[in-house]
Chains A and B, each alone.
Chain A
Amino acid sequence: MTPERFAYLAEAYGADVQRWPPAEQGAAKALLDSGNAVAGEALQAAAWLDAHLDSHQPVLADSALARQIRQSAPRRAWFWSRYAGWLSPAGLVGVGIAGVVTGMLVASMSVPLPMLSSEVLPSVFDQGDAEVVFTVNAEETEQ
């Protein structure tokens, strides 16, 4: 590497040779190690400007901004809210079906079955049977 090339790279990339193009770093270090005066001066001038560049303090991230940005991210949906779209109608349908089944059950208990006579399987709402039961109980009490 020529001293002129070294000076050009120092002018472009600064004093830290590690940040120069990788293909040029080895030759640049070798030139520096040789004690070349031009290379040394170029590096010194670049270091002066680097120090000034490093003194610049950019805007720092404050917690309020970070929080605001985090809140702008899409959030994980809760399990139930994720399925709420179809769970609500499904729930309504389920309640409806349960109501119908309950109604049918109650109706089946109050209406005598046509195949069986009331003597074999009396209805719980059969008034006549109730009177028989009460009469029997009364007779047992008198005895």
Chain B
Amino acid sequence: MKDTDPDVELLARIGNNEPAAVNEMVTRKLPRLLALASRILGDADEARDVAQESFLRIWRQAASWRSGEARFDTWLHRVALNLCHDRLRRRKERPLTEEEALELADSAPSPDEQVETADRSARMAAALAALPERQREAIVLQYYQELSNIDAAALMNISVEALESLLSRARRQLRSQLADTPGLARPGRGKS
């Protein structure tokens, strides 16, 4: 790597079991991991589980982390993405139960919710959830997680051109959905 990885020093301190470094890593990465997982999975509880599992991997990896092979943040995204993929795969293998379908219906913005920001967020969440898995992943990595196009493409094991194509299709579909009446599909159950 040409530029220095801002997380390497922190990892070394975690490897020495410094409590302050642990706190700093949680402060630095937890919001990022939750944002990634909640947008990919569309489920708050599952996003928290993914974040916790990701941190367990961090603790295990910290002492033996070797700088120069990959940026830590990219590695962490790969870990979290794989955990999300596992969960999405399990969802596909197991159809929705009636109870879960009701829970999803409950997560829709109720008529009583007058808060504009919450309503807009819910509509956006529904539009994201309705995207095909790969398109959603591209938008989340490039737009929300602010990864470079090269890093995002590498994480998805595709070329930059393929990433751009996914992003364009995703944004077209989002624009179309947001203009129409919003639906409430669950991530991983939409078209793919």
> CB distance A74 to B146 under 8 Å?
no
> CB distance B17 to A70 under 8 Å?
no
Is A138 an interface residue, CB under 8 A from the partner?
A: no
Q: Which residues of B contact A34 (CB under 8 A)?
A: none
Measured as residues with beta carbon below 8 angstroms from the partner, the interface class of chain A is 20 to 34
Measured as residues with beta carbon below 8 angstroms from the partner, the interface class of chain B is 35 or more
Contact A72 to B59, CB < 8 A, known contacts A13-B142, A21-B149, A52-B178: yes
In the complex, what distance in Å separates the CA atom of A77 from the CA atom of B171? 51
A58: contacting residue among B27, B35, B117, B123, CB under 8 A = B35
Is A53 an interface residue, CB under 8 A from the partner?
A: yes
Is B89 an interface residue, CB under 8 A from the partner?
A: no
B residues adjacent to A (C-beta < 8 A):
14, 16-19, 22-23, 26-27, 30-31, 34-35, 37-39, 44, 47-48, 51-52, 55-56, 59, 117-118, 120-121, 123-125, 127-128, 139, 142-144, 146, 149, 160, 164-165, 167-168, 171-172, 174-175, 178
User: Which residue of chain B has its CB nearest to the CB of A45?
Assistant: B175
User: Which residue of chain A has its CB nearest to the CB of B25?
Assistant: A73
Q: Which residues of B contact A50 (CB under 8 A)?
A: 143
